[in-house]
Amino acid sequence: MNFRCPIHIVLSVLMVGLLTAPCLATDYNEAISGDLSNSGLTPTSIGSLTLGANSVLGTTGRGGNGLDRDYFTFTVPANFTLVSMTELSGTTVGGDVSFIGVQAGNKVTVGTNPTSAAGLLGWTHYGVADINVDILPRMGVPSFGSTGFTTPLSAGNYAFWVQDFNVGVFTYGFRLGVQAVPEPGSLALFTGLGVGGSLLTFSRLKRRRIV
């Protein structure tokens, strides 16, 4: 049986120019669901992430109405982790001042013209060189006062801030990779079986040598 992307996903990908993006369970697409919030104190909620690939597609840049900043928040459910944030094909930037930051919780309280990144978990600049690159580990490196973090990000609420300072409209897309946390009991059982199997094999080989 052939699998086809739902038509609304196909249209959303085309509308933001992400022509080569895979078929994803899109959590939020500005071309369909409307402009993401321009306030860090009231970011747009895209709900709880699901196992596998989730994505956020939007636009940012400077125009006649000023700077279009995008703020969104989501929840990583219990027993899951956010393992990656991969920049999708079709992302465009106006120069070296594209920015994405993350703060723990459901809002970004850092001001729009801060003197440091204090208050953020992490941040980075992104560009076309990062297409198909997981930028989450880079965001986790402490810089200019950000707390820093080690991937994966555990269950909880997170708020993101995306912006490009240049004049124009620039598309972006990020794929959020979510994995389940293995239960300690099942992991121990798997490890125990592995050890047991090795000991059993060694025992059989030893008996063969004795015979």
Helix-strand-coil percent breakdown of the chain, rounded to 5?
20, 35, 40
Domain span including residue 172: 7-180
d(CA 207, CA 211): 6
Q: Which stretches of the chain score pLDDT less than 70? A: 1-26, 185-211
170-194 in b/e form (b: 16+ CB < 10 A) is: bbbbbbbbbeeeeeeeeeeeeeeee
The residue to which tokens 């124009």 are assigned:
168
Supply the pLDDT for residue 26.
60
Is the residue at 2 inside a domain?
A: no
Which H or E run contains 168? none
Using a cut of 0.85, tell me whether the model's pTM lies above it: no
* Residue 1, pLDDT score: 35
Same domain, 176 and 187: no
From CA 128, how far away is CA 135, in angstroms rounded? Answer: 12
Q: Which of 61, 6, 39, 49 is nearest to 161 (CA)?
A: 39
Please name which of 158, 152, 140, 157 lies closest in space to residue 182, comparing C-alpha atoms.
Answer: 152
Looking at residue 28, its pLDDT comes to: 94
Question: What pLDDT shows up at residue 186?
Answer: 54
Say how many residues make up the chain: 211
Same domain, 174 and 194: no
Task: Clarify whether residues 172 and 192 are in a common domain.
Answer: no
Helix (H) or strand (E) holding 158: strand 156-164
For residues 105 and 157, is the Cβ–Cβ distance under 8 A?
yes
Quick one: 62 and 164 in the same domain? yes
In the chain, the number of structural domains is 2
Instruction: Tell whether 149 and 198 lie within a shared domain.
Output: no
pLDDT digits (tens, 9 = 90+) for 148-204: 999 999 999 999 999 999 999 999 999 999 999 987 765 444 444 444 444 333 334
Tell whether 140 and 200 lie within a shared domain: no
How much is the pLDDT for 33?
A: 92
